[in-house]
Amino acid sequence: MLQLMRPVEMLGASFREILQAAANLERMMALAREAPEPDVSPAAPGGAARLLPGCRLEVEKVSFSYGDGAPVVDDVSFTAEPGRVLALVGPSGAGKSSLLRLLLRFYMPQRGDIRLGGQSIGALGLKQLRQAVAVVPQDIVLFDDTIAFNIALARPGASHDEIEAAARAAGVHERIAAMPDGYATIVGERGLKLSGGERQRLSIARALVKRPRLLVLDEATSSLDAVTEKIVRRSLMAGAAERTTLVVAHNLAMAAGADEILVMAKGRIVERGSHRDLIRRKGLYARLWREQMQSGDEKA
């Protein structure tokens, strides 16, 4: 009987390995979805330009359409100043994600210019640009490895102090310190499971360890609970001085604390201002805010 058990056990082990391999493959594919697309910029004579110091983001009269279709980003202009948090909101299909793809140069605009630190991003090497920009995606891909490894992924070689500083800034250090092995705790598929809010804060820590000039948060459609959302919002806004922060927000509560809110509809920026300004204006933002508050009440 024991002899019979052995191959069954082995089969069990290899089946688990296959499952694990499948899970790893899935993660690699998820990463590939986030990975840069081929460089589409025209080859600049003498090679790519150097990224100059500074992190002001300037979007000037940018228009873009997919293929021959109608513009999904239509004559958009705004400037995001260093140390400030800008939020981009608007109904579904307004063009927020498309604008984000232009900032990361997944596509090039047909018209207009996007500059980071005064330098047109079209003239930069794609690697340079992606090093200067960090994106907090809608859901973080966690590897079956330590917390420290998972944070440092954006900048391999980061020291423990740098990893901890990023975790503190993202408001997740206390939680990590309370884990069984602290920063050496294994998380992910087979490790410690984390809540949505913890995953998001870890994702912010991963982005911050890169010390990006431009931090972009692509907020998940699935909303976090109010307390977690507040912590995430605070961690994102805190210490934002050395970078420019752009939040693409589905949840308007996430946008309300931003220095400036850009309201997009049908590819255009139709309103801009602080939360208070926009509520007073009683336009699209005020309507979206009211609708969101009402649906929140209904859910409660």
Please report, as ranges, the residues that interact with ligand ATP according to CB under 6 A.
66, 72, 90, 92-98, 250
DSSP E strand boundaries for 221-266: 244-248, 260-265
Measured from the CB atom, the residue of 98 and 203 that comes closer to ligand ATP is: 98
Compute the distance between CA of residue 300 and CA of residue 287 in angstroms, rounded to an integer: 20
- Closest separation in Å from C-beta 182 to ligand ATP: 37
Residue in the structure block whose two tokens are 């609970």: 225
**CB nearer to ligand ATP: pick between 99 and 207:** 99
Shortest gap between Cβ of 70 and ligand ATP (angstroms)?
Answer: 8
Residue closer to ligand ATP by CB (options 99, 140) is 99
In SS3 terms, 265-289 reads as: ECCEEEEEECHHHHHHHCCHHHHHH
Q: Given the complex with ligand ATP, which of 219 and 260 has the nearer CB atom?
A: 219
Q: Provide, rounded to whole angstroms, the least separation between the CB of residue 69 and ligand ATP.
A: 6
In whole angstroms, what is the distance from residue 81 CA to residue 55 CA? 8
Q: Quote the least distance from Cβ 219 to ligand ATP, whole Å.
A: 10
Q: Is 89 helix (H, G, I), strand (E, B) or coil?
A: strand
109 within 8 A of 74, measured Cβ to Cβ: no
- How far apart (Å, rounded) are the C-alpha atoms in residues 29 and 157? 24
Nearer to ligand ATP, 36 or 93 (CB): 93
- Please, what is the minimum distance in Å from the beta carbon of residue 80 to ligand ATP? 18
